[in-house]
Chains A and B, each alone.
Chain A
C-alpha cells in the first residue's frame, strides 16, 4: 500500500457527468464520434483531403480505388475521397441547417398551435395540410426555382417542407401535455401562459422532437441530392454527397461502383451517427431515464 493513496477528487462535476453519460450510453458515444469525425473533416477539408477535389485528370477517368486514388476517381478523373471530404461541408451544412431550421420553426409553430388552440390552431393546421399535400421535392423545387440555386437557398428550400411535419407532431404532443395537472399547477402559481408554454410544455416535447429531427436528417441529404441532380441545388463544381450519388447512380453503378458506394456510405454513416447520438441525447435529457 502506498501512502499516496488519496485520489485527486477535485474533478469538475461536468467532467464527471460526461464520463458517467459516456459509460451509460456507449452507442451515443459512437454516434458522437462519427458526427465529430465528419464535422472535423468538413471544417478542415482543405487540410485533410489528399487531393484537390476540383482538378480533373483525363487519364484517371473512372480509375478504380488504388494507391493513387484511395476511393477511386470519377469520370472526369477527380478523386472521390477528396470530393467526399469536401462534400461533407455542403451535405452537413444542408442536413444540419435544414433540420435545425425546419425543426425549430416547426416546434415553435406546433407549440403555439397546440397551446393557443382555437382558430389559430385551425388556420395553422390547415395551412400545414396544404403544404403536406404537395410532395416534398416539388415544394423544394418551387422554392429553389424562385430563390435561385445557392447553399442558403437550398437549406431554406429543404427546411420549409419539414415545418408542417414537425409542427403536427409537436402540436399533438402539446395537446395532451397541456391537459396534465402540472400545467394547471404552474398556472396556479401565477406563471404567464407564455412562460408555462416555454418552461413547462416545450421541454416535455423534446423527446419526440429529437427522434423526428434525427430521422429527417437523412431525408434532407437525399432531397438535396435530388435538387442538385435537377440543377437546382448547390451549383457545380462544389461537390455534395447527394449529387455525387445521383449523378453516377444510373450510369456507373455496374462499371464503376465506387462512385456510388462511397458517397452512399458517407450518407449512411452520418444518418446512423445522428440517430445513435439522438437516441442517447433523448434518454440523457430525460431525468426519468437517469439514476
Chain B
C-alpha cells in the first residue's frame, strides 16, 4: 500500500506565560491512499493541535513545531516555504472543521466560497469555477445545487453547511483530508449521513482521511486504523478491530469500559452496572509527571510507571502501545 501521509515524530509546543506546554510530543503515523485513520482521545489530549500542525495553521508564536516531519506524497510540509504551503493547502491537504455554523463566511454565498477556492488552485475562470462549485454541491448530495449555490450560509441547516464544507474541502481533490470532529456539532441522524458521505467520496477519490474524534462509536464505524492519544503522546495504535477487541493500554481499556452498553444495564438500581469512569483528570501539559503520563490515574501503576516513561513498542502483530504493564 502506498502511504500518502507520513507523520514522523511530530512535536508541537506552546510558549506560554506559565512555561512550555508540550501539546504534541513525538507523534508518528502514516495513512494510506483511501484509508481512514482515527485519532481519538479526550479533550485537551492534543488531537486538534495535531490536526492544525498538519495544516500548519497554528499561530506562531505562541505555538512552535519544534521537531518532526509531515510528508504528503513525499513533500515535507514542515520544510516548505509559506507560499508553497498555501498552494498545498486545499489542493493536497484539506481540512474540515467542527463548527459548520461558523466555518463559512456569512457575507458570501456558498457557491462563491467554493468557487473562490477552485479559482485559487486550478486557475479556472469565474464561470467555470461557478459550475464546478455547483457540481461539487450536487456531489455532496445537496438538493437543488444551482439554487443553493446562490444562497448564504445562514439559509442552510447545520448538516447542509457541513456538506458544503466537505464540498469545498474536496473540490480540488486533495490527497489528504483532515476532519476535525466533523460530526460533533450535528445531531445523530445527520452525523451518520455526513460520515457516509465522507466515506463515499473517499472511495471515489482515494482520499486519505485523518479523522479526529472523541466518539468511539464513530471510530468503530468508519476508521480502519486508530491512534489513541493521551496528554500529547500517542499511547496506542492498532487496526480498529484489534483495538476494540483487545486494547493494550489501560487508558484505552478505560475508555472502552466507559461506553454505556444498551442491553447489559439492568437499570440504575443495580450499582454493579454503574457506568465505568476513569478517575482523575488529564494532567496539565506544562507539568507532566516524569514517568507515564497516565500513571496518576492508572490502577495498575507501580513505581516504575511513575519514574520512567514507557517506550512505544509492538505488543502484538500490528498493535503497538506505550505501557509497562502490557
Does more than half of chain A's interface fall in helix, strand or loop, or is it mixed? helix
- Encode contact with B along A177-206: 1 for CB under 8 Å, 0 otherwise: 000111011111111100000011001100
Contact B89 A184 (CB under 8 A): no
A83 vs chain B, min Cβ distance (A): 44
Candidates B90, B91, B95, B107; contact of A203 at CB < 8 Å: B107
Contact A287 B107 (CB under 8 A): yes
Residue numbers in B under 8 Å from A190 (CB-CB): 86-91, 117, 120-121
Of the listed stretches B96-104, B285-293, B303-311, chain A binds: B96-104
A288 on the B face (CB < 8 A): yes
Residue numbers in B under 8 Å from A182 (CB-CB): 102-106
Residues A188 and B116 in contact in the complex (CB < 8 Å), given A204-B105, A204-B107: no
Residue numbers in B under 8 Å from A291 (CB-CB): 155
Instruction: Give A190 to B117 CA distance when docked, in angstroms.
Output: 8
Residues A181 and B97 in contact in the complex (CB < 8 Å), given A190-B91, A200-B105, A204-B105: yes
Contact B103 A181 (CB under 8 A): yes
Among B87, B90, B169, chain A packs the most CB atoms within 10 A around the CB of B90
Interface residue count for B (Cβ, 8 Å)?
31
Which A residues from 153 to 199 make CB contacts under 8 A with B?
180-182, 184-192, 199
Candidates A180, A181, A189; contact of B94 at CB < 8 Å: A189
A243 vs chain B, min Cβ distance (A): 41
A286 on the B face (CB < 8 A): yes
Contact B86 A185 (CB under 8 A): no
Residue numbers in A under 8 Å from B120 (CB-CB): 189-191
Instruction: Give A154 to B107 CA distance when docked, in angstroms.
Output: 36
Candidates B86, B94, B99, B154; contact of A288 at CB < 8 Å: B154
Residue numbers in A under 8 Å from B97 (CB-CB): 181, 184-185, 188
Which B residues from 149 to 174 make CB contacts under 8 A with A?
152, 154-155, 165, 168-169
Instruction: Give A203 to B86 CA distance when docked, in angstroms.
Output: 22
Contact A189 B102 (CB under 8 A): no
In the complex, residue of chain A having the shortest beta-carbon distance to the beta carbon of B171: A189
B321 vs chain A, min Cβ distance (A): 32
Contact A185 B165 (CB under 8 A): yes
Contact B90 A188 (CB under 8 A): yes
Residue numbers in B under 8 Å from A188 (CB-CB): 55, 57, 89-90, 94-95, 97, 169
Residue numbers in B under 8 Å from A191 (CB-CB): 86, 116-117, 120
Chain B residues with CB under 8 Å of chain A are 55, 57, 86-91, 94-95, 97-99, 102-109, 116-117, 120-121, 152, 154-155, 165, 168-169
Q: 20 A-B contacts, Cβ less than 8 Å apart? A: A181-B97, A181-B102, A182-B103, A182-B104, A186-B105, A187-B57, A188-B90, A188-B97, A188-B169, A189-B120, A190-B87, A190-B88, A190-B121, A191-B117, A200-B105, A203-B108, A204-B106, A287-B152, A287-B154, A288-B106
Beyond known contacts A190-B90, A204-B106, A288-B154: 12 more, CB 8 A cutoff: A180-B102, A181-B98, A182-B103, A185-B103, A185-B104, A187-B89, A188-B90, A190-B120, A191-B117, A191-B120, A287-B106, A287-B154
